[in-house]
Amino acid sequence: MPLMPVILWTDALVFLLVISAIGFGLYAARHEHLRAPWRRVARSRVGIGTLVVLSFYVLIGLLDTVHFRLPLADQTAGTETGAGTKFGPDVLSLFDAWAAPLRERQEKTYSAPFATHLFVKEAITQPDGSVIRDYPRLNYGGRHLKDPTQRGWDILRLTLRGLAEGLIVWGLIAAQVVWSTARGQGIGFMAARDVLLAGGTAFPWRTALGTLAVMLVLGFVAGELALRYHILGTDKVGEDVFFQALKSIRTGLVIGTLTTLVMLPAAILLGIMAGYFRGWVDDIIQYLYTTLNAIPGVLLIAAAILMLQVYMSNNADQFESLVERADLRLLFLCLILGVTSWTGLCRLLRGEALKLREADYVRASSALGVGHFAILGRHILPNVLHIVMITLVLDFSGLVLAEAVLSYVNIGVDPTMNSWGNMINSARLELARDPMVWWSLTAAFVFMFALVLAANLFADVVRDAFDPRLRGVR
């Protein structure tokens, strides 16, 4: 089937980020001063465990970043004569295609997690013509059950099947790791297994494989159950909440990473320049970020989003789909958040550079005639890199949470885009219902909590690895 690739603005930037990360990895692999800190991260059990969790988030985010259009089922006569294939207006992603059963199974309205009936009563016409008020059966959730009372046993059966599938896949991966270890160390398979179980390798394979086993089991169990039930219920319009939570991963990752790219160059360059040069350079940079900090960030974001909405309304013909409109708003939000969030890191780097410029090795380099920018690049920047790393990851967590707050006040991402903030925003009225609809808020909280917690723990490991004072070297 022919597909029409679609590259959104955020898609292009994510691809650029991936290419840059690969390039930096290749560069760092050839330089010991960069390779050594990452080697320490790789030997940390906490670092590897959280990295496995983050990898699942990143994988889903990347699958949701490759977009395309499907061809129309009903082609025109011109197409038949060779005029070309016509494509539909809907922009889908690889994740949409992979999770099509979740995306296409839409109920009428609310349903609770693992429910077989709607959450609200409706008028149901009986075969004899009488009308009663009861909970109708769902169109998809638990529809394969002839007797809904067997739901518990069916959930147990599907859970055990997912558990077995996850353990089989994990067993194959673990066997490959053991075989590679045995081949590398020149020992037998069982001996290599014992070494890994005892934690006798430099790389914490036991932690990595244990975390991977948990994630694979959870993934396969959720997959088996999601094909038969709405495991996190449905929202007001009947869409699967589990699918919405998974689709929101890309939005959170894009805001956390692209915003970081926007603010990183200005924060690093201006911060270390202000602390190193001092004088009028420091005065100008301080005046710049002090003035910017004086502007209320929420009002600046609201004004920028309002201007963008006016532009999109006046130029609606420039956007072929709602996805492109929502993507431009997401990109604009990343830019505004980047402009308003670089000042904190800049201030930290200025203070650290003020201290480092008085260090003996910096003063010696200056006395020997080394240029200012060479000193900044070889002495100042490497010694503030740990601050940059920890600030970036902590800012990533803060930006993921900020998106939820901004969407709550309707100045975040587009309402048509899946995000945890939009889920929380829609849940504020659902919590006031009687009985309460709690699963949308819970789903957004759990997915956001897992991402932010893993990012913060990974940040601590990266900080310890890159801090020269903890390594005992300059």
pLDDT digits (tens, 9 = 90+) for 276-326: 888 888 899 888 888 888 888 778 888 888 888 888 888 877 777 788 888
Residue 86 placed within a domain: no
- Give the best-scoring range by mean pLDDT among 28-32, 120-124, 423-427: 423-427
Residue 177 placed within a domain: yes
Residue 90 placed within a domain: no
Which tens digits make up the pLDDT trace of 404-446? 778 777 778 888 888 888 888 888 778 877 788 889 989 999 9
Residues 48, 208: contact at Cβ < 8 Å? yes
Q: Which one of 224, 255, 276 terminates a domain? A: 224
Residue 117 is given by DSSP the state: B
Do 351 and 462 fall within a single domain? yes
Q: Which one of 197, 224, 251 terminates a domain? A: 224
Do 270 and 406 fall within a single domain? yes
CA-CA distance, 442 to 467, in Å (whole number)? 37
Q: Before 136, cis peptide (omega within 30)? A: no
Do 416 and 290 fall within a single domain? yes
Which residues pair with residue 234 across a beta bridge?
111, 240
CA-CA distance, 51 to 405, in Å (whole number)? 26
CA-CA distance, 7 to 16, in Å (whole number)? 12
Do 256 and 286 fall within a single domain? yes
Token pair listed for 111? 């349903």
Residue 118 placed within a domain: no
Token pair listed for 19? 């290419």
Do 416 and 267 fall within a single domain? yes
Give pLDDT, residue 407: 79
Q: Which one of 224, 250, 282 terminates a domain? A: 224
Do 420 and 321 fall within a single domain? yes
Report the CATH number at residue 465. 1.10.3720.10
Do 466 and 361 fall within a single domain? yes
Provide the 3-class DSSP secondary structure of residue 111.
strand
Which tens digits make up the pLDDT trace of 157-200? 999 999 999 999 999 999 999 998 888 888 888 888 888 888 77
| Confidence class for position 49, pLDDT limits 50, 70, 90 | very high
Residue 137 placed within a domain: no
Residue 262 placed within a domain: yes
Domain extent, residue 25, equals 4-65+240-471
What distance lies between CA 203 and its chain's CA centroid? 26
Residue 300 placed within a domain: yes
Q: Which residue has the tokens 């991977």?
A: 212
| Confidence class for position 211, pLDDT limits 50, 70, 90 | very high
CA dist list (Å): 406 to 161, 299, 345 = 41, 11, 22
Q: In which element (H, E) is residue 71 found?
A: strand 67-71
Do 332 and 409 fall within a single domain? yes
**What average pLDDT is seen over the chain?**
85
Residue 330 placed within a domain: yes
CA-CA distance, 187 to 191, in Å (whole number)? 6
Do 410 and 266 fall within a single domain? yes
| Confidence class for position 81, pLDDT limits 50, 70, 90 | very low
Higher pLDDT, 63 or 361: 63
Do 270 and 368 fall within a single domain? yes
Do 293 and 150 fall within a single domain? no
Do 261 and 202 fall within a single domain? no
Rg, Å, the chain Cα set: 27
Number of domains composing the chain: 2
Q: Which residues contact 151 (CB under 8 A, 6 or more apart)?
A: 114, 116, 142, 145
CA-CA distance, 395 to 461, in Å (whole number)? 16
Token pair listed for 14? 């994510």
- Which is it for strands 122-125 and 131-134: parallel, antiparallel or unpaired? antiparallel
Region of 408 (left: φ > 0; alpha: ψ -120 to 50; beta: rest) is: alpha
